Structure 1
Amino acid sequence: MATINIDANNFEPRKPPKRKNDSSAMEVETHNGIEGRVRKQPKPKRLRTKSYSESKDNVRKIPVPAHRYTPLKENWLKIFTPIVEHLKLQVRFNLKTRNVEIKTCDETDDIGNLQKAADFVKAFVYGFDVDDALALLRLDDLFIETFEIKDVKTLKGDHQSRAIGRLAGKGGRTKFTIENVTKTRIVLADSKIHILGSYQNIQLARRAICNLILGSPPSKVYGQLRNIASRVSERM
């Protein structure tokens, strides 16, 4: 059997293979006699500042449908002026989200003005004139009620079209008559109906509209409105 001579002075243990993350390649620091690797500072996260539209506190967002862009652009000054000068709020139209955004500021006196301004813009988006919608800012007991024809009676196709025709009347005469008697404002937007007015007046207008949807002839509805108008005048 052959003998192998091993030199103890030149004996070195086998070096382990270098790892990718070798300590020699890392920064080493000694602190109070304790040696350790320097902890790499993580990259600072990019602070995402909340923009005007992202803060949820004291903000109202009103989406604007495509068919109301042009009227909003034409009447923007009439909408902008009372909200900023009288209610002391900030308002802008976000082109990306297509929303009208209203926000309070340091000069805002009453937090309730925020909801008033939102109702005012929402009324204009529904289709009411600016002058009619301004009443929401001046008077406290005005509301907007929205419902659809199918909420009263399920109608489809030509039946629904005829119901809308009965509500409007020839040249809008039926709608104007209901508005004048009940002292409300009505917008017919396809199958949706928006009514602006006080609570009692909205109920009167809605009752007349529901009768027309259910098939009552306009002459009968006119007679009911005359009786209501005479009662209201007697109370006054």
Structure 2
Amino acid sequence: MAHKSHRQKALQAQLEAQPTLSLVSQKTKKPKVVEQSMDIDGDDDVLISSSSSTLPSTSTAEQTNATASTSSGSGFAPLPQSQTNNGVLKGEFRRIPIPPHRMTPLKKEWVNLYTPMVDMLGLQVRMNTMRRSVELKTSGHTVDTGAIQKGADFVKAFSLGFDVNDALALLRLDDLYLDSFEIKDVKTLHGDHLSRAIGRIAGEGGKVKFSIENASRTRIVLADTHIHILGSVQNIKIARDAIVSLILGSPPGKVYAHLKMVGARMKQRF
């Protein structure tokens, strides 16, 4: 019996020790303390208060992340205004080369060239005679992000042979472009055949070229075998088709008739 009582005492001691171990394990596990009821005394109240104070911070962080992800489609938060800098790229630089035969007209028309680029676009402009080029740079007064590209197109149009007043339309309008091609891109011609093709495009005293310009509302420069067209996309296509037909050998009368038909259609649209 003494042996049985000793065994019973040992079992009773083990049973009494198990709740204490479970309580210690519950206290050591912090997540389970938050899930317990509020009637726990002692240190558990401190744990509950500290965990409850940290909960709002995590919720606010999740809210900020959610708003940042929803504010932009890519999932990234938008840049602050101090970093965007109104979308202007400071220090952007362009150098436009000028052909040797256009340096003298550039010096004569220099005042008319740099004045609109400085006043309208807010660019810094200078003529580099050593490099035979015109250099453009953005400044603090530049507002439009595409200002330097407009200025480069304006100077390039003048270097190709367009008049200053015609090239100035590139600064005022947004839907004007430059298109350049050669006669050999259409058909390979040599000798007198090439000369006759150029003559068909120009006409007597430039009449054919002027009629194409008036019908298609474009400006055309015929520089040897190179042809440059200034206008909108649709008008450039009309002028290019007329010039291509002349290069291929169509008579000017047939081209005139086609241009009249196209001009009538354009008037009906507008």
AA at the equivalent of 2:110: W
**SS of residue paired to 2:174:** coil
Runs of 4+ in 1 over 3 A off after TM superposition: none
Gaps of 5+ in 1: 1-56
AA at the equivalent of 1:190: D
TM-superposed deviation, 1:94: 0.8
**SS of residue paired to 2:94:** strand
State the partner residue of 2:249.
Answer: 215
- Following the alignment from structure 2 to structure 1, what is the Cα–Cα distance between the partners of residues 266 and 119? 37
Choose which of 225, 235, 239 in structure 2 pairs with 1:205.
239
- Following the alignment from structure 1 to structure 2, what is the Cα–Cα distance between the partners of residues 233 and 105? 42
- Following the alignment from structure 1 to structure 2, what is the Cα–Cα distance between the partners of residues 59 and 177? 39
Is 1:86 the counterpart of 2:120? The answer is yes
State the partner residue of 2:199.
Answer: 165
Normalised to the residue count of structure 2, the TM-score between the two structures is 0.66
Identity %: 62
Q: Deviations over 1:5-30 (max 9, x none)?
A: xxxxxxxxxxxxxxxxxxxxxxxxxx
- Following the alignment from structure 1 to structure 2, what is the Cα–Cα distance between the partners of residues 69 and 181? 32
Aligned positions, number: 181
1:1-236 matches, within 5 Å, as 58-236=92-270
Task: Please identify the structure whose Cα radius of gyration is greater.
Answer: 2
Q: CA RMSD in A?
A: 1.1
AA at the equivalent of 1:215: G
AA at the equivalent of 1:162: R
- Following the alignment from structure 1 to structure 2, what is the Cα–Cα distance between the partners of residues 73 and 126? 15
Gaps of 5+ in 2: 1-90
**SS of residue paired to 1:62:** strand
AA at the equivalent of 1:235: R
**SS of residue paired to 1:229:** helix
TM-superposed deviation, 1:101: 0.5
Normalised to the residue count of structure 1, the TM-score between the two structures is 0.75
TM-superposed deviation, 1:89: 0.3
TM-superposed deviation, 1:111: 2.3
